[in-house]
Structure 1
Amino acid sequence: MKLILIIMGINIVYVSLYTLRMIFVIKGLRGLATFLAMVEIYVYMTGLGIVLKNLENPWNLAAYCFGFGLGVYTGSRIEEYLALGYVTVQVTVDCAETEIPTKLRDDGYGVTCWLADGKDGHRLMMQVLAKRCNERKLYNILDKLCPKAFVISFEPKNFRGGFWINRMTKNF
């Protein structure tokens, strides 16, 4: 039983590290991803070696598989907790909601807005930039200010110029 728990634990750590390493690569954090890769492969080889030496017990292989699945879940939860990067949220509201950009700016969000024509008339479009760790807070603010807003979010890959560049260089 002890060996099964060790195998499962090693695989949870390995797959969590793998998940985080891939996210760091995507986010452009190559140095951290490289270091994590070295730790990850050590953990992987240790776990694989234990399983291959003990193949006579099918529960060891089952523990390896179960640990792999739990590692995916654990890694995704860790990434969600870290919330690295930024999110761009596009918000569409009725034109009567014109105080929303000012309120969002007062809360520290970068907001660009423009008028647009929708199926049922004029709309106010806003593009709001926020840190991913503040995304839920932004949605809560939007729910209070304009519960009927149409909201789309996506993660920007690059920044160049604008309001956020000064903030980003100060934080790094």
Structure 2
Amino acid sequence: MGVLLFIFFIQIAYVTTSTLRLIVMMKGNAKLASIISFGEVFIYLLGLATVLDNIDNWLNVVVYCFGFALGVYTGSLIEEKMAMGYVTVQVITRKEDSDMPQQLRNAGFGVTSWLGEGLSGERLVLMVLTKRRRQAELVNKIKEIDSQAFVVSSEPKTFIGGFWVRRTQ
């Protein structure tokens, strides 16, 4: 039973570490990602060696796979809590005379807005850049102002100039 628990928890640790390394690397921190990868491979080898040493028990392989699956889930939960980086949120509202840009600015968000053309007339288009941990707050504020607004978000890799560069320097 001790071997099964070891395999299970080592797999959770391995995949969680692997997920975190990938996130850190995608956010552009190659040095931290390489440090994390050392621990990741060490944990992986411990788990794999244990399974291979006890390969005669099929339950070890099943637990190894189950630990992997739970590690993916655990890693995604941790990533959600970390909420690293920024999101760009584009908002399209039918209310071209809306004061949404000013309300969002008053809430601490950087907003650029312009008039656009939709299928049935003018639309107000907003581009908002915010930290990922504030994304839910932003979306809730948008819904509060205009529940019919069209909202799309994405994660920018790089940005130069503008509101955020001045604030983060």
Residue aligned with 2:93, SS: strand
Name the counterpart of 2:143: 143
Q: Would the aligned equivalents of 2:96 and 2:115 in 1 still touch at CA under 8 Å?
A: no
CA contact 1:97–1:146 (8 Å) conserved in 2: no
1:83 match = 83
More displaced, 88-97 or 46-55?
Answer: 88-97
**Unaligned stretches of 5+ in structure 1?**
none
* CA-based RMSD: 1.0
Q: Where does the alignment leave 5 or more consecutive residues of structure 2 unmatched?
A: none
Using the alignment, how far apart are the partners of 1:117 and 1:62 within structure 2? 56
Q: Find the aligned partners of 1:168 and 1:70 in 2 and give their Cα distance.
A: 37
Per the alignment, in what secondary structure is the counterpart of residue 125 of structure 2?
Answer: strand
Tell me the secondary structure at the aligned position of residue 70 of structure 1.
helix
Residues 68-126 of structure 1 show CA distances to partners (whole Å, capped at 9, x for unaligned) of 11111111111111111100000000235521100100111110000011111111000
Verify: 1:5 aligned to 2:5, yes or no: yes
Q: Aligned residue pairs: how many?
A: 169
**TM-score, length basis structure 2:** 0.97
Name the residue aligned to 1:121: 121
Shift of 1:17: 0.6
Matches within 5 A, 1:61-140: 61-140=61-140
CA distance in 2, matches of 1:166, 1:7: 49
* Identity over aligned pairs, percent: 47
> Once the 2 structures are TM-superposed, how far is the Cα of residue 6 of structure 1 from its aligned partner?
1.1
Contact 2:90 2:126 in 1 (8 A): yes
Distance 2:159 2:117 in 1: 28
For 2:161, what is the secondary structure of its paired residue? coil
